Amino acid sequence: MTILVSGGAGFIGSNFVLDWLAQSDELLINLDNLTYAGNLENLSSLQNDPRHLFVHGDIGDSVLLASLLAQHQPRAVLNFAAESHVDRSIHGPAAFVETNIVGTFHLLEAVRAYWGTLDDGGKAAFRFLHVSTDEVYGSLSPEAAAFTEQHRYEPNSPYSASKAASDHLVRAYHHTYGLPVLTTNCSNNYGPYHFPEKLIPLMIVNALAGKPLPVYGDGQQIRDWLYVKDHCSAIRRVLEAGRTGEVYNIGGWNEKPNLEIVDTVCALLDELRPRADGASYRQQISYVTDRPGHDRRYAIDASKIALELGWKPAETFDTGIRKTVQWYLDNAQWVADVQSGVYRDWLEKNYTGRSA
Ligand code: NAD
Ligand code: DAU
């Protein structure tokens, strides 16, 4: 048995690959084109593991996809590959349209063609799982109910609009062609291997480097935070037991304003790695101009996945954020390699001369 994962060198994808192979002996094909966000150092523990086959390639490469699918006959394809940073989508939306919309389209086309070659049993058992985001639902007022799967799509950034478009394509491939798809819409993840452009890892690495902690606007924007390993367990559960054609919202029941997140990170660092001058890291907080079109609040109603599939997060925010801060303290070399760009040499170092 084989599964194919796209984007498995990124933050969530690499956590998923590591967790999957800790529990399964299936071959896992990891297709990733290693943008700035793809980091094979995350997967260095799998270096000699025959169950992990890394393929340096693009989800938009139809020829490569057709050959991988024909050769390996996966029972499932999980799509994590994306451009994922909202601020980057504001500065340069083209890559988001290219990967998140056009890339997902090419992936769906290749999967549809492959699926058509399977016998009836293979067709029925096959799954295409699309990893999406709560941002497609737009922004909530303070008193509004959390997003359910029925909430209308109202994406506000180029990133969320591109993810919304990909969700619609996935839905259409089920409705029109009968492709057995599953879509998950998750809230903000945090945890190991999180690229330090996103709020939590940026605050940790900037604090330790003595740099300002840039809080956008008034810092009262609310996000729902989920430890990344809990997201991975939810995806495994949806893959295993989700009903095809269905959408499952995934969240941590854990809404917090950004300023509280930054404050918690500072408090943990004050405890675990106090500043030399004895002052709190809170002194480094610096209010900066807000993100254009900044969504005020996201909140996920994760009742459906709890009631239907029996999934709930294992970590509370207190346990997850402590583990996360500790991970960054314990992995200073990973942070240094990411910041210096050294991690980008890993592909050459590790894979040149290796045959697939
Ligand atoms: P990430 O940016 O850390 O990783 C994305 C990965 O995809 C990278 O390894 C990158 O090299 C790869 N990739 C990009 N374009 C590609 C292409 N054209 N072909 C092949 N690979 C490509 O992202 P992440 O935070 O791990 O997010 C993974 C998925 O989960 C995304 O679809 C994102 O929208 C979704 N999501 C993320 C969060 C979050 O909080 N990070 C929450 C909900 C949903
Ligand atoms: O909700 C799920 C989404 O969460 C995912 O789909 C995205 O891929 C992921 O990047 C994340 O999007 P956000 O925009 O919510 O994450 P980010 O870490 O960029 O920002 C979190 C909040 O913190 C947001 O309100 C903006 C704010 N922020 C962010 C940065 C980087 C700051 O105040 N200062 C910062 O420097």
pLDDT digits (tens, 9 = 90+) for 177-189: 999 999 999 999 9
**Domain range for 155:** 2-193+226-253+293-315
Q: In this structure, is residue 174 part of a structural domain? A: yes
Residue 251: which residues within 8 A CB-CB, separation 6 or more?
Answer: 134, 146, 186, 187, 224, 226, 299, 300, 301, 302
Ligand 2: distance of its center to the CA of 200 in Å? 9
Single pTM value for the model: 0.97
Closest CA to 159 of 233, 72, 232, 97: 97
Least-confidence region, from 227-231, 311-315, 341-345: 341-345
Q: In this structure, is residue 259 part of a structural domain? A: no
Instruction: Output the pLDDT for position 341.
Output: 81
Residue 79 three-state SS: strand
Q: How many CB atoms lie within 10 A of CB 354?
A: 8
Q: Is 159 a catalytic residue?
A: yes
Instruction: Judge whether 190 and 263 are in contact, CB under 8 Å.
Output: no
Choosing from 134, 230, 263, 295, which is the catalytic residue?
134
Q: In this structure, is residue 237 part of a structural domain? A: yes
- Alpha carbon distance 232, 11 (integer Å): 11
Instruction: Output the pLDDT for position 356.
Output: 46
Number of domains forming the structure of the chain: 1
Residue of 42, 83, 84, 147 to mutate, ligand 1, most atoms within 8 A of C-beta? 84
Residue 199 three-state SS: helix
Instruction: Judge whether 182 and 239 are in contact, CB under 8 Å.
Output: yes
Q: In this structure, is residue 286 part of a structural domain? A: no
**Predicted confidence (pLDDT) per residue in 152-202, tens digit:** 999 999 999 999 999 999 999 999 999 999 999 999 999 999 999 999 999
Confidence of residue 345 (pLDDT cuts 50, 70, 90): confident
Ligand 2: distance of its center to the CA of 355 in Å? 38
Q: Which residues of 73-109 are buried (b: 16+ CB within 10 A; e: fewer)?
A: ebbbbbbbbbbbbbebbbeebeebbebbbbbbbbbbe
- Alpha carbon distance 281, 178 (integer Å): 54
Is the pLDDT at 307 greater than 90? The verdict is: yes
Give the CATH number of the domain where residue 42 resides. 3.40.50.720
Is the pLDDT at 110 greater than 90? The verdict is: yes
Here the tokens at position 66 are 């057709």
Q: In this structure, is residue 199 part of a structural domain? A: no
Instruction: Output the pLDDT for position 222.
Output: 98
**Predicted confidence (pLDDT) per residue in 213-250, tens digit:** 999 999 999 999 999 999 999 999 999 999 999 999 99
- Alpha carbon distance 17, 79 (integer Å): 12
Q: Is 134 a catalytic residue?
A: yes
- Alpha carbon distance 72, 87 (integer Å): 37
Is the pLDDT at 95 greater than 60? The verdict is: yes
Q: In this structure, is residue 15 part of a structural domain? A: yes
Write down the mean pLDDT value for the chain.
96
Q: How many helices (H) and strands (E) does the chain have?
A: 14, 12
Q: In this structure, is residue 207 part of a structural domain? A: no
Q: In this structure, is residue 124 part of a structural domain? A: yes
Instruction: Output the pLDDT for position 83.
Output: 98
Confidence of residue 300 (pLDDT cuts 50, 70, 90): very high
Instruction: Judge whether 199 and 256 are in contact, CB under 8 Å.
Output: no
Instruction: Output the pLDDT for position 238.
Output: 99
